[in-house]
Amino acid sequence: MNNLLENQKSREECVEYLKKEGILNYFEIGEEQFHGIFDAVDENNFVPFEPVPEDLYRLHTLIRRRKVFNVLEFGLGYSTIVMADALMKNSKEFYSLYLSKALLSVQYCVGLAFFHPFPFPERKEHRIGSVLDS
């Protein structure tokens, strides 16, 4: 628990991280507001509160550090955008790493086949209805 408090970032650092990650292309961060812990909208129940950059920062970094691929979320809001961004980046990282390793593996196998000491059997062509059928 102490580790979480030690790594706490300032509001400005969180906003800067969200900018760097491109998340603030989807919405804006307004002035800091204070509300009750269970409040989600204004008292008229029409306008959602501004996003809290510290929470969005923690959510994004948690998903990115743990390299998560699946998230179960209840609700729809700013956190949905942040989680979708983190999941997309995790997938892109994984598949680019996976594909580069697969490509290296194929290059290695092709290299082995090229320097294989035994000749490969000849390949026969078979065409239906042609002279080469045998």
CA distance 86 to 44: 33
Please write the tens of the pLDDT for every residue from 5-57: 556 789 999 999 999 999 999 888 887 776 666 666 666 766 667 888 999 99
Here the tokens at position 34 are: 């204070």
Higher-pLDDT residue of 97 and 20 is 20
CA distance 30 to 23: 14
Q: What is the pLDDT at residue 38?
A: 63
CA distance 63 to 80: 12
Q: Is 65 helix (H, G, I), strand (E, B) or coil?
A: helix
pTM: 0.64
Specify the residue for token string 């900018």: 19
Residue 125: left if φ>0, alpha if ψ -120 to 50, beta else—which one?
beta
CA distance 73 to 69: 13
